[in-house]
Amino acid sequence: MSLIKRRSPRVGKVIDGHPMIIVENGHILKSRTQKARIEEADILEAARYSQGLSRLDQIKFAILEKDGKISIVPNE
């Protein structure tokens, strides 16, 4: 698989996926969370764990990473 991914970056993205923004400026992007099968509770759990945030309006961006983890960028 690594040889195929190395020869074709497009195939690599299909196999590995790519990061996807699922919350923008405190608003959940419903079509993306449904596609990724992520619930609001999962996003808030990641926000509490990584940044100590408890509400969506405190999140500038939430990004679903390639490995399935959710990264949180807080509002300033």
Which pLDDT value is given to residue 51?
94
Please determine, for residue 72, whether its predicted confidence score (pLDDT) is greater than 90.
yes
Average pLDDT over residues 16-28: 90
Enumerate the domain spans of the chain. Answer: 17-74
Which pLDDT value is given to residue 76?
83
Please determine, for residue 15, whether its predicted confidence score (pLDDT) is greater than 70.
no
Whether pTM exceeds 0.95: no
CATH topology of domain 17-74: CRO Repressor (3.30.240)
What single string gives the DSSP state of each residue in the chain?
A: -HHHHHH-HHHHHHHH---EEEEETTEE-HHHHHHHT--HHHHHHHHHHHH---SGGGEEEEEE-TTS-EEEEE--
Residue-wise pLDDT tens digits, 33-70: 999 999 999 999 999 999 999 999 999 999 999 888 99
